[in-house]
Amino acid sequence: MSISRRGFVAGAAAVTLGRVAPLHGFQAGEAAVSQEIPAGFDPWIEVDVAALRHNVGVVSALSGNRPILAVIKNNGYGLGVTQVAVATEALPEIAGFAVVKAEAALRLRDAGITKPVLLMALFDDETGAELASRGVSLALTTDDGGERLARATRRAGRAVTCHAYLDTGMSRMGVPYHRASEWLRTLSASGIRLQGVFTGFTEDADFDPEQLRRFLQVTDEAASAGVEVGRRHAASSNGVFHLPDAHLDMVRPGIALFGAYPSDWEAERQIAELTPAMRLRARVVRVERLRPGDGVSYGRNYVADRPTWIATIPVGHTDGYPRQAVNGAQVLINSKLYPVIGAVSASHTIIEVGAEQSVHIGDEVTLLGPDHPAIGPNAIAAATGRSVYDVLMHLNPALPRIMVRG
């Protein structure tokens, strides 16, 4: 079972807190990150720098080497917003970053990110001024967007770049396309020079081409009227794979950069090979041998019918690991897969080891990552009946994010 973005309705993860420390081998000018794997038994997340950079290259090739405005909203799709930006900013394919929370935009600047950052959200006067003073580009999303921009500019005491957001049928954000031509002309007449104009697709294969037609009609009309529209961008990860006509001047992918396929993952991996760019990891905290008739966890959904070894991992649904993992998910220990059994509780997951004790306390466990096809984010999503966006974005932001070379 595969659930696309359209099936993903849960709230986005919060941003990660904390400082970042140096990662050996980064070039001068690249922001600093941490690479030390934590000791003890608390879980952690590894961000694979090489995988991120590989995926950027794949997306660039798929989009005909268009510039990439990397969408790193919702805590960098679970990997950490500053961590992702730090790992990819130096790549020439990356034109900048896009977020949907003002705090995330400011944190990127605090982390030393100097490439363009676009806030794709409504802003109030105070927030707009603060963002403008930090060189964050603002999205004009409402009919009064020009006035909002002017107030932010006056309060900040400096000019600010901006992009116009058109609603071509998503009905989520932006000025509706049927009145957007006049709006764009009004912005231009007021002296606003856009860096870009953008829209978002519903990812309905039958309707997306109509959205693209509307977007191109409005922007072509505006350009013919002398409006400076800047770069046109519309293609998310789904558009990169399935709607090449929407690649336009720049692409705006998110989840594909992190090594997950956006929609039909079995078909999409035949188009291009992405590498999951994170690992959810922990260490075994208990190993025990069940007797016939012994049950496991809440509800006794698993009862041993023969002597069986089990192991406990200190990762649960509070860490973002799906409760539904008992429906067929597996974990990787010492290059071997083990099934999840019983019930995933808030802080623990139990696995079936088998007739022989092949697992020991302290063994490292990978619950999600690139090291086996069965634990990739799309595979875990399929096994648990969840959206792959859920799987990544619901990772607990309090877990340490450790940068590794892969």
Name the token pair of 23.
Answer: 């990662």
302 belongs to the catalytic site: no
CB 375 within 8 A of CB 330: yes
Q: At what angle do helices 145-156 and 125-133 cross, to 10 degrees?
A: 60
Alpha-carbon distance 159 to 120, whole Å? Answer: 18
Token pair 């998503």 is found at: 170
Alpha-carbon distance 95 to 227, whole Å? Answer: 23
Side chain identity at residue 231, one-letter code = R
298 belongs to the catalytic site: yes
Active-site residue identified among 77, 115, 261, 298: 298
Cα 257–Cα 258–Cα 259 angle in degrees, nearest 5: 95
Contacts of 276 (CB under 8 A, 6+ apart): 48, 51, 258, 259, 260, 368, 369, 370, 376, 377
Query: Residue 218: CA atoms inside 13 Å, Cβ hemisphere, count?
Result: 26
Active-site residue identified among 73, 101, 338, 389: 73
**Known catalytic residues?**
73, 298
